[in-house]
Amino acid sequence: MGLGLVFNNFAFAKSGVPHLWKCIAGNCIDGKGTETYINAACAACKYVGQFKNGNWHGQGTYTDKSRGRKYVGQFKNGRKHGQGTYTDKYRKYVGEFKDGGITGQGTETYTHGVILPL
């Protein structure tokens, strides 16, 4: 399975389920704010960052503590887009994202030390 397919399966784009996110601080319409997921499927999920038209847009951090996943980087229209760093308990990817998936240049490092340029 290609790396892009693996990362595309991680469901942390706001664009598909905006009604399941709740603004708990700041301006979650056009500005900087914090949202949490209000469904038991991801009770430990949180986004902190910039918003445009109610979507994650600009620099932000998405954290899913229950699954040990984190993305720090750029978002566009509620999806990972631009430069970013994704980490989970098995690997770390630093590089380019587009429309929620991996694209372009990047490096993936596994917890056991293997480094793969992409």
15-54: pLDDT as tens digits: 556 678 899 999 999 999 999 988 777 878 999 999 999 9
Contact 43, 66 (CB under 8 A): yes
Place of tokens 């209000």: 38
Residue 8 placed within a domain? no
Q: Domain for residue 11, yes or no?
A: no
Q: Give per-residue pLDDT as tens, 22-31.
A: 999 999 999 9
Residue 15 lies in a domain: no
User: Residue 10's closest CA among 62, 84, 74, 75?
Assistant: 62
Q: Is residue 26 part of a domain?
A: yes
Q: Does residue 6 form part of some domain?
A: no
Q: How far apart are CA 76 and CA 82, in angstroms?
A: 8
The total domain count for the chain is 1
The domain spanning residue 72 has which CATH number? Answer: 2.20.110.10
Residue 55 lies in a domain: yes
Q: Looking at the domain assignment, is residue 74 inside a domain? A: yes
- What's the pLDDT score for residue 105? 87
63 inside domain: yes
Indicate if the alpha-carbon torsion angle 52, 57, 61, 64 is positive or negative.
positive
Q: Which two tokens stand for residue 59?
A: 């620099």
Half-sphere exposure (Cβ direction) of 65: Cα atoms closer than 13 Å: 8
**pTM exceeding 0.85:** no
Q: Which residues of 60-98 are buried (b: 16+ CB within 10 A; e: fewer)?
A: bbbbbeeeebbbbbbbbebbbbebbebbbeebebbbbbe
Task: State the chain's mean pLDDT as an integer.
Answer: 84
The boundaries of the domain holding residue 67 are: 20-117
